[in-house]
């Protein structure tokens, strides 16, 4: 395994200055909110960043202004929003055996079905596998708030 100096890498990408954190690099280039980037923090232990396990669509990456590329990280909210828009544009997956069960006369979808659908509906489903942030964003969307 190759040894990587993250401080040098961060400086090269414009994330860390001689004085510490570059505040501009800690903001999302799309919405201007905090991007929660581990490299942009002043913490001694950086650990893996939230985005290490994320997949970024070409459309989302293309929405980053040219001057912000390789300097700013996209925030989790923008990644979730892009994923929701992409998944909602697709038809819902057909329910298969094991995707739901009937309880008290109601259909209860399993986490397996929710994962295949790809986004949180905001209805507070019992087996919702999505994060609290994804749920909060879905509820806000239902109420017509940005």
What pTM does this model have? 0.65
Question: What CA–CA distances, in Å, run from 18 to 21, 53, 124, 135?
Answer: 8, 29, 46, 39
- Kindly report the backbone phi and psi dihedral angles of residue 5, in degrees, each rounded to the nearest multiple of 5, phi listed first: -90, 100
Nearest to 80 by CA among 110, 115, 49, 56: 56
Structure tokens at 22: 């570059």
Give, for all 146 residues of the chain, the pLDDT tens digit: 333 443 444 444 444 333 344 456 788 898 888 888 887 777 777 677 888 888 888 888 888 888 888 888 889 989 888 888 888 888 988 889 899 999 999 999 999 999 998 888 888 899 999 988 888 888 888 787 65
Cα distance between residue 32 and residue 18, in whole Å? 23
Nearest to 135 by CA among 77, 90, 91: 77
């Amino acid at each position: 395994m190759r040894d990587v100096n993250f401080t040098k890498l961060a400086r090269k990408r414009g994330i860390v200055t001689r004085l510490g954190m570059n505040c501009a690099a800690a903001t999302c280039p799309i919405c201007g909110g905090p991007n929660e980037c581990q490299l942009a923090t002043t913490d001694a232990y950086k650990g893996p960043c939230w985005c290490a396990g994320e997949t970024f669509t070409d459309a989302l990456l293309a929405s980053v202004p040219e001057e912000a590329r390789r300097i700013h990280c996209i925030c989790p909210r923008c990644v979730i929003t892009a994923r929701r828009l992409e998944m909602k544009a697709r038809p819902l997956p057909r329910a298969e055996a094991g995707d739901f069960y009937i309880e008290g006369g109601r259909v209860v979808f399993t986490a397996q079905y929710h994962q295949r659908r790809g986004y949180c509906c905001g209805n507070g489903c019992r087996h919702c596998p999505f994060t609290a942030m994804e749920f909060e964003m879905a509820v806000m969307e239902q109420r017509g708030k940005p």
